[in-house]
Amino acid sequence: NAGVTQTPKFRVLKTGQSMTLLCAQDMNHEYMYWYRQDPGMGLRLIHYSVGEGTTAKGEVPDGYNVSRLKKQNFLLGLESAAPSQTSVYFCASSYLRGRDNEQFFGPGTRLTVL
């Protein structure tokens, strides 16, 4: 099992450009999450999904969109990147609801917006 994988691992964007981050899991988990991690801030939830075809906003959703067309994939989109979105992005998944279950994290995507 690969667990949770993320692509790409690194990316540099110019302000205003768009991109999509892909997260895939092979554990048949229902719940998936996108977090961002900034120095000294911990992990902050951007968006999450409780199942195929569903998405919901987390703590810091502005400037991001998500889609979950297939159960195993969760996409994070930046329509018009801003320097404030420079961060490390982690995808995670859990079998059921996050408050009761272990979350499995992907290796992260380091994004720099110039």
Nearer to other proteins, 77 or 98 (CB): 98
Decide if residue 90 touches other proteins (CB under 8 A).
yes
CB of 50 within 8 A of CB of 99? no
Nearer to other proteins, 7 or 15 (CB): 7
Beta-strand ranges (E) seen in 42-102 are: 42-49, 56-57, 65-67, 73-78, 87-94
Compute the distance between CA of residue 10 and CA of residue 59 in angstroms, rounded to an integer: 24
Decide if residue 74 touches other proteins (CB under 8 A).
no
Residues in contact with other proteins by the rule CB under 8 A: 33, 35, 40-45, 48, 56, 58-59, 90, 97-108
